[in-house]
Structure 1
Amino acid sequence: MANAWFETVAEAHRRAKKRLPKGVYMALVGGSERGLTVDDNMNAFGELGFAPHIAGLSQTRDLSTRVMGQDLALPVMISPTGVQAVHPEGEVAVARAAAARGITMGLSSFASKSIEEVAAVNDKTFFQMYWVGTREVLLQRMERARAAGAKGLIMTTDWSFSMGRDWGSPMIPEKINLKAALAYGPQIALRPKYALQWAKSRTIPDLTTPNLAPAGGGPAPTFFGAYGEWYGTPLPTWEDIAWLREQWDGPFMLKGVMRVDDAKAARDAGVTAISVSNHGGNNLDATPASIRALPAIAEAVGNDIEVVLDGGIRRGSDVVKAVALGAKAVMIGRAYLWGLAANGQAGVENVIDILRGGIDSAVLGLGHSSIHDLSADDLIVPDGFTRSLGVTPAQKVVEAAVKSA
Structure 2
Amino acid sequence: MSKMSELAEKNPWRRNPWFETVGEAQKRARKRLPKTVYSSLVAGTQAGITVNDNMNAFTELGFAPHVIGTTPERNLATTVMGQELPFPVMISPTGVQAVDPDGEVAVARAAANRGTAMGLSSFASKPVEEVTAVNDKTFFQIYWLGSREDILARAQRAKDAGCKGLIVTTDWVFNVGRDWGSPEIPEKVDLAAVAKLAPEMITKPKYALSWFRDGKLLIPDLTAPNIAHPDQAGPTFFDVYGQWMNTPPPTWEDLQWLREQWDGEFMVKGITRMDDAKRARDIGATAISVSNHGGNNLDGTPATIRVLGPIADELGNDLDVLLDGGIRRGSDVAKALALGAKAVMIGRAYLWGLAANGQAGVENVLDLMRMGLDSTLMGIGKNDVADLTRDDLIIPEGFERIFGG
Query: 2:378 is aligned with what amino acid?
Result: L
2:362 is equivalent to residue 351 of structure 1: no
2:248 is equivalent to residue 227 of structure 1: no
Q: What pairs with 1:63-74 in structure 2 (closer than 5 Å)? A: 63-74=76-87
Query: 1:265 is aligned with what amino acid?
Result: R
Specify which of 145, 154, 159 is matched with residue 167 of structure 2.
154
On the 8 A contact 2:50/2:302 being kept in 1, the answer is: yes
Whole-Å separation in 2 of the counterparts to 1:389 and 1:112: 37
Partner residue of 2:54?
41
Specify which of 264, 268, 274 is matched with residue 250 of structure 1.
264
Specify which of 88, 91, 94 is matched with residue 78 of structure 1.
91
Whole-Å separation in 2 of the counterparts to 1:89 and 1:213: 20
Local SS of the residue matching 2:140 = strand
Partner residue of 2:319?
305
Whole-Å separation in 2 of the counterparts to 1:2 and 1:251: 34
Q: What pairs with 1:26-175 in structure 2 (closer than 5 Å)? A: 26-175=39-188
Query: 1:88 is aligned with what amino acid?
Result: P
On the 8 A contact 2:96/2:125 being kept in 1, the answer is: yes
Whole-Å separation in 2 of the counterparts to 1:242 and 1:129: 14
Query: 1:81 is aligned with what amino acid?
Result: T
Whole-Å separation in 2 of the counterparts to 1:99 and 1:199: 26
**What's the CA shift string for 1:348-381, capped at 9, x where partnerless?**
0000000011100111111111000000000000
Local SS of the residue matching 1:320 = helix
Specify which of 247, 256, 261 is matched with residue 275 of structure 2.
261
Whole-Å separation in 1 of the counterparts to 2:15 and 2:340: 40
* Higher mean C-alpha deviation, range 48-57 or range 85-94: 48-57
User: Where does the alignment leave 5 or more consecutive residues of structure 1 unmatched?
Assistant: 392-405
Kindly state the Cα deviation for residue 2 of structure 1 after the two structures are TM-superposed: 8.3
Whole-Å separation in 1 of the counterparts to 2:70 and 2:135: 35
Partner residue of 1:399?
none
Kindly state the Cα deviation for residue 303 of structure 1 after the two structures are TM-superposed: 1.1
Kindly state the Cα deviation for residue 51 of structure 1 after the two structures are TM-superposed: 0.8
Aligned residue pair count: 390
2:227 is equivalent to residue 205 of structure 1: no
Whole-Å separation in 2 of the counterparts to 1:212 and 1:164: 24
**What's the CA shift string for 1:47-105, capped at 9, x where partnerless?**
00001122232211000000000000100010000000100000000000000001000
Whole-Å separation in 2 of the counterparts to 1:174 and 1:293: 37
Whole-Å separation in 1 of the counterparts to 2:183 and 2:286: 37
2:23 is equivalent to residue 13 of structure 1: no
Kindly state the Cα deviation for residue 3 of structure 1 after the two structures are TM-superposed: 5.4
Kindly state the Cα deviation for residue 230 of structure 1 after the two structures are TM-superposed: 1.1
Local SS of the residue matching 1:193 = helix
Specify which of 296, 299, 307 is matched with residue 310 of structure 2.
296
Local SS of the residue matching 1:287 = coil
Provide runs of 4+ in structure 1 moved above 6 Å.
none
2:298 is equivalent to residue 284 of structure 1: yes
Local SS of the residue matching 2:226 = helix
2:202 is equivalent to residue 186 of structure 1: no
Could you say if the C-alpha distance between residues 45 and 224 of structure 1 is closer, same or farther in structure 2, counting changes exceeding 3 Å?
A: same
Partner residue of 1:273?
287
Could you say if the C-alpha distance between residues 171 and 53 of structure 1 is closer, same or farther in structure 2, counting changes exceeding 3 Å?
A: same
* Higher mean C-alpha deviation, range 155-164 or range 50-59: 50-59
Query: 1:111 is aligned with what amino acid?
Result: A
On the 8 A contact 2:176/2:297 being kept in 1, the answer is: no
Kindly state the Cα deviation for residue 227 of structure 1 after the two structures are TM-superposed: 1.6
Local SS of the residue matching 1:155 = strand
**What's the CA shift string for 1:9-40, capped at 9, x where partnerless?**
00000000000110010011010000000000
Could you say if the C-alpha distance between residues 299 and 341 of structure 1 is closer, same or farther in structure 2, counting changes exceeding 3 Å?
A: same
On the 8 A contact 2:15/2:364 being kept in 1, the answer is: no
* TM-score, normalised via structure 2 length: 0.95
Q: What pairs with 1:381-400 in structure 2 (closer than 5 Å)? A: 381-391=395-405
Whole-Å separation in 1 of the counterparts to 2:273 and 2:239: 31
Partner residue of 2:335?
321
Query: 2:319 is aligned with what amino acid?
Result: I
Local SS of the residue matching 1:66 = strand
Query: Identity percentage over the alignment?
Result: 66
Local SS of the residue matching 2:65 = coil
* TM-score, normalised via structure 1 length: 0.95
Partner residue of 1:396?
none
Task: Please give the root-mean-square deviation of Cα atoms over the aligned residues, in Å.
Answer: 1.2
Local SS of the residue matching 1:121 = coil
User: Where does the alignment leave 5 or more consecutive residues of structure 2 unmatched?
Assistant: 1-13
Kindly state the Cα deviation for residue 224 of structure 1 after the two structures are TM-superposed: 1.8
Whole-Å separation in 1 of the counterparts to 2:15 and 2:272: 43
Kindly state the Cα deviation for residue 330 of structure 1 after the two structures are TM-superposed: 0.1
